[in-house]
Amino acid sequence: MIETQNLTKSYGKDRGIVDLNLEIESGEIFGFIGPNGAGKSTTIRTLLGLIFPTSGGGSIFGLDIVKKTKDIKKQIGYMPAEINYYHKMDVRELLDYSADFYDMDCRSRIEELADIFALDLDRKILDLSRGNQKKIAILQSLIHRPKLLILDEPTTSLDPLMRAKFFDILTEENSRGTTIFFSSHTLNEVQKLCRRVGIIKEGRIIAVENIETLRKKQLRIVQIEFSHPVKTDEIDCGGVIDPSAHLNSLNFMFSGEVNTLLQVLKEKEIKDLIIEEPTLEEIFMHYYEDKSEKERD
Amino acid sequence: MMLNKNIYFKELKLHRTSFIAWCLSIMVLILLDMALYPILMKDDFLKQLSVIFENPFLKGLMSAFGATLDGFVNVLGFYTARNTMFILLLGSFFSILIAGKILSQEEHEKTAEFLLTKPVTRSEVVWSKLVAYFSLLLTLNIVILITGFISIEIFKGDSEYRLAAFLIHTFYCFLLMLTVGAMGLFLSLWIKRGRPTTNISIGIIIGGYFIDAASKVTPKLDIIGYLSPFKYVDSSVLSPDYGLMWWRILYFLAISLLLFTLTFIIYKKKDILI
């Protein structure tokens, strides 16, 4: 559905994205995760032809993203991270304007979705709150029944109720066969929805994983209280990640065999030990930050 | 090239109110101005005018604005002198400001992200907006033509004039407005994130206008006048051989065509930064 080959975009000194290789399958919900400034929006804008690749390339529906952009966009619904619409228009005018670009009658779909999201179609866009403007963006991306939805941080400024409704709609669209490419800066947000996630950092893809695989990583958070001051190299054992020492306590992530760790600890004088399961967020924060740093070295 | 009607009509609608305001101001200005003509042509006023034109300094100053005593006496000469001063200037402002906005405003207000993710090519966007701009400019010039003609007919009194000369001069003015519009549009492509080009645009018009005015004061300065597009509008409507000159028309059309074509090429490859 979406494929990129060494897609690179640099703006002057800014990084942009580097050698991005992505493959999104037809019918899947793909989460595109990374901190702010990692290159998520740059990737999306390159895919949509707002900006042009410096090198490399890509295709959507098998069509080249630079040469066939008009044909591609006929089948895409895009929801931008920041909402900027024509201030003078009211909601209905904007949605009609949007609908007129596609060769189909979208009126009943507009009414239907406006109803679901409780959006007043006769208000001026300028008078609406951020959350309500976000709803316009949702409608605008859905009314022409696209085959592919590209959503750039779609849930910011949506309240929990609307978020739930939005996720329901996405699930429904997906079951109808719509492929969804969903960017977010938090993994927790997308883990319920997505089957696979791609993690982008500093313009590079550092991992593409199944959510399940990620969850099964045998990663533990370990906190040890010693009876004496410690340094970060106190524990000499494979699998210790990112240790930090403060007075008598030592914290680290651990990816090795717990039994081996216990053997090592038996030789030490410890006062307390806590081993717990990290959140999915922490897994990728620590695991992948560490991995990408090693790769760069 | 395809015209996207959706973009075209939205663009017209966007400028509707300000366009009507421009039209009305220009119409009122032409009518009020021409209403002065019969008053000035009464005997005592004409004598006072000739005193002004005897003073060499004032004569030079008046000619900078295209006015001579003989010119003033004839109704078309009067219309043209005043027209050049106000209408041409206002029309040029209108043209350069609108043309400078049609593409850049979408970037500045970040609505380009909406527009360019719809199924349209960049060329269709430029073409649809350009045709909308052209429609507005043409309509404005038709308004000027009709108001000018009616006001001359109402106030001409005994003065005679050649209709062809009036039409040709109005056509030159239209070409000038088109050319500065092309400049405004081309210029707006180079401003990052579509920031408004209002100041530079006004500078171009005022600068061009005064270079042309200065070149008319003395023959020594004549040559620098050709730096200004205003110089290429022939205002000697009372001259018996006044007519269309190919090199003037070529100048306007060549510059406009070149800049519009470059706009297509550049916009097609431009990164739209939001």
Helical spans, DSSP H, in chain B: 5-40, 43-54, 56-64, 69-73, 75-82, 88-102, 104-108, 112-115, 122-155, 163-188, 198-217, 246-269
What's the one-letter identity of residue A282?
Answer: E
First and final C-alpha spacing in chain A:
34
Q: Give ipTM to 2 decimals.
A: 0.83
Phi first, then psi, for residue B190 (nearest 5°) are: -95, -5
* CB within 8 Å: B119 and A88: no
Calpha distance B117→A69 (Å, rounded)? 9
Beta strands in chain A (DSSP E): 2-11, 14-24, 29-33, 55-60, 63-64, 76-79, 148-152, 179-184, 196-201, 204-210, 220-226, 240-246, 249-254, 270-276
To probe the interface with A, which of B108, B113, B123, B271 has the most A CB atoms within 10 Å?
A: B113
Contact list in B for residue A69 (CB cut-off 8 A) is 121
Pick from A80, A88, A97: CB nearest B6: A97
pTM: 0.84
Average pLDDT over residues A131-144: 92
Q: How far is A27 from chain B (nearest CA, A)?
A: 21
Strand partners, B132: none
| Cβ-contact A273, A224 below 8 angstroms | yes
Calpha distance A38→A134 (Å, rounded)? 23
Q: How far is B183 from chain A (nearest CA, A)?
A: 25
Average pLDDT over residues A99-126: 90
Phi first, then psi, for residue B241 (nearest 5°) are: -100, 25
Contact list in A for residue B14 (CB cut-off 8 A) is 86, 88
Percentage of chain A surpassing pLDDT 70? 92
* CB within 8 Å: A48 and B119: no
- pLDDT per 10-residue tile (average), chain B, 274 residues: 90 94 94 87 71 71 65 84 83 94 91 94 95 97 95 88 92 95 94 84 90 82 86 84 90 96 94 84
Measure the CA dihedral A129/A132/A138/A141, to 10°: -70
Q: Which residues does A208 contact at the CB level (< 8 Å), separation at least 6?
A: A22, A196, A197, A198, A199
Average pLDDT over residues A92-112: 91
* CB within 8 Å: A85 and B272: no
Q: Which residues of A100-124 are buried (b: 16+ CB within 10 A; e: fewer)?
A: bbbeeebeebbeebbebbebebeee
With CA atoms as reference, report the closest residue to A44 among A86, A81, A83: A81
